[in-house]
Chains A and B, each alone.
Chain A
């Protein structure tokens, strides 16, 4: 399985660390809404198909990534920085032309 890091390019999955379901929404840390916390900690969609996931390129640039992966085929449908790409140095482009 290859994940194309927006900074590093295509890399083997062993360079990445799975950081969980990307559909969760963390309640305000001060919140005492137990249902919201319960949903955050335990509820998972577990779809047979496209799944929003959080990965870290821990064996590379160490950026945190938002990945859409198909749980049936392992196809990677999209990869993006969790923190928005802010500058020209954040994207692989000029180098590909050289």
Chain B
């Protein structure tokens, strides 16, 4: 299989950086899912789309805006009314959804090559992200599994909380390297490790 190149590569430096003498408080990684798919339901077809997501991924979406969950391999979250992002470690998700999501239910958009997924984890993850995005990262306001659509300047970002101190950020591939660099700079003060 052809190895996909990371857009972060020239700025991706494995190891500890910044002010880490007293320990590393941020871990930065690229999750590099094999599939990233965006699903949208036509008005009134949302329940059928949610059922299709369950059929294809085995993940049962919780009720409510921005609801989501992750099983470690597959992740899904709502990012807009009737719209969902699904990511899978494996390739081929768009093909599976193309069969399950009929034209009467909604649309399937394969973004596997269009988005880059960056994971920020560690005790200072909320602190660092709060410097980028004007949203509430506290656990009660942003529960594990949930998704948020927001923007850092002109870089549109979808963020899913995949752990109490872990977030996966989906950004446009073309903006990913500059966003990654900014994330590294913002993590310097607390000490970060790239894995």
Give chain A's interface residues, CB within 8 Å of chain B: 6-9, 11-12, 14-15, 59-63, 81, 83, 85-96, 98
CB nearest neighbor in B for A97 = B64
> Interface majority SS on B: helix, strand, loop or mixed?
loop
Contact between B149 and A61, CB atoms less than 8 A apart: yes
| Partner among A6, A11, A96 whose Cβ is within 8 Å of the Cβ of B134 | A11
Contact between B66 and A59, CB atoms less than 8 A apart: no
Question: What is the CA–CA distance of A95 and B82 in the complex, to the nearest angstrom?
Answer: 16
Contact between B143 and A12, CB atoms less than 8 A apart: no
With a cutoff of 8 Å between Cβ atoms, the chain A residues found around residue B66 in the complex are 7-8, 92, 95
Contact between B65 and A81, CB atoms less than 8 A apart: no
With a cutoff of 8 Å between Cβ atoms, the chain B residues found around residue A89 in the complex are 46, 50, 61, 63-65, 67, 78, 81-82
Contact between A61 and B64, CB atoms less than 8 A apart: no
- Chain B residues 38 to 61 lying within 8 A of chain A, measured CB to CB, are 43-44, 46-47, 50, 61
> Interface majority SS on A: helix, strand, loop or mixed?
loop
CB nearest neighbor in A for B146 = A95
Most chain B CB within a 10 A radius of its CB, from A9, A12, A61, A94: A61
Given A11-B150, A12-B134, verify A87-B46 contact (CB < 8 Å).
yes
Chain B min CB distance to A56 (Å): 11
Q: CB of B148 within 8 A of chain A?
A: yes
With a cutoff of 8 Å between Cβ atoms, the chain B residues found around residue A98 in the complex are 62, 143
- Chain B residues 113 to 143 lying within 8 A of chain A, measured CB to CB, are 134-136, 143
Question: What is the CA–CA distance of A87 and B65 in the complex, to the nearest angstrom?
Answer: 10
Contact between B47 and A90, CB atoms less than 8 A apart: no
Question: What is the CA–CA distance of A22 and B79 in the complex, to the nearest angstrom?
Answer: 26
With a cutoff of 8 Å between Cβ atoms, the chain B residues found around residue A12 in the complex are 134
Would you list the 7 A-B pairs with minimal beta carbon distance, nearest first?
A94-B64, A61-B80, A59-B151, A95-B64, A94-B63, A92-B65, A90-B81
With a cutoff of 8 Å between Cβ atoms, the chain A residues found around residue B46 in the complex are 86-87, 89-90
Question: What is the CA–CA distance of A59 and B83 in the complex, to the nearest angstrom?
Answer: 15
Contact between B151 and A8, CB atoms less than 8 A apart: no
Contact between B134 and A61, CB atoms less than 8 A apart: no
| Partner among B44, B82, B83, B151 whose Cβ is within 8 Å of the Cβ of A15 | B151
Q: List 19 A-B contacts (CB under 8 A).
A: A8-B66, A8-B148, A15-B151, A60-B149, A61-B79, A61-B149, A62-B149, A83-B81, A87-B44, A87-B46, A87-B47, A89-B63, A89-B67, A89-B82, A90-B46, A90-B82, A93-B63, A94-B62, A95-B143
| Partner among B43, B61, B65, B156 whose Cβ is within 8 Å of the Cβ of A91 | B65
